[in-house]
Amino acid sequence: MKLVAISQRVELKLARAEKRDALDQNLVRFLSELGFVGVPIPNTLTAESPGAENVSFQLFQLLNTLKPKAIILSGGNDIGEYLERDLTEMALIEYAEAQKLPLLGICRGMQMMCHREGISIEPVEGHVGTRHLLSGEIRQEVNSYHDNGVSACPKNYKIIAVSEDSKIEAIRHCSLSWEGWMWHPERETPFNGSDIERARALFNS
């Protein structure tokens, strides 16, 4: 069984006094198309939790036990909204780098990849609840659900797609099997064959 570790969004349910980790089931279904099983990673194993000296170790211990073949940073939440998620995803990126694992950042996930490299996140207009055509290495129509984007391409990455208004829509690392996409492949019905093919090549599946 080939596993992929997936980060989760944080949802606050005040009526139930609950703080939840959540993941769209369609992202797991998308991975199934590639021959992988998605494993959600909790946001509670980070240094924001009590016992900070131990929790990050627990996260890496979990990953070493799972031995994922790849990592996905999922969409949802703004960077800075929930510190525990930010720390979890930073740790996942570090693990992917140390283990030379394929990494795919989806929407916020791509923003986190850029944020880690010191790139600022900025508001964008006309990118919520719409579709647009990409140009560059990737040429296809994609969905768009984000009101923030990245201000520049990080060092050691290259831009592989831009939108009609010249916003960065996809990046690829120059030496690692890492990509960031600002669209959500899991929200396409049916899944886009180009997304499946590209993810399969990225994950070597």
Respond yes or no: is residue 107 known to be catalytic.
yes
Could you give the C-alpha distances from 149 to 9, 86, 142, in angstroms and in order?
18, 16, 15
Options 84, 89, 169, 186, the catalytic residue = 186
149 bridge partner residues: 122
Distance CA 159, CA 136 (A): 8
Is residue 12 within 8 A of residue 22, CB to CB? The reply is: no
E-strand spans in the chain? Answer: 3-6, 9-13, 18-22, 37-40, 70-73, 103-106, 121-123, 128-133, 141-145, 148-150, 157-162, 168-173, 178-181
Q: ∠121-122-127 over CA atoms, to 5°?
A: 110
Is residue 82 within 8 A of residue 43, CB to CB? The reply is: yes
Respond yes or no: is residue 114 known to be catalytic.
no
Is residue 203 within 8 A of residue 34, CB to CB? The reply is: yes
Respond yes or no: is residue 186 known to be catalytic.
yes
Options 89, 107, 146, 188, the catalytic residue = 107
Options 84, 146, 184, 188, the catalytic residue = 184
Is residue 86 within 8 A of residue 112, CB to CB? The reply is: yes
The residues that are catalytic are 107, 184, 186
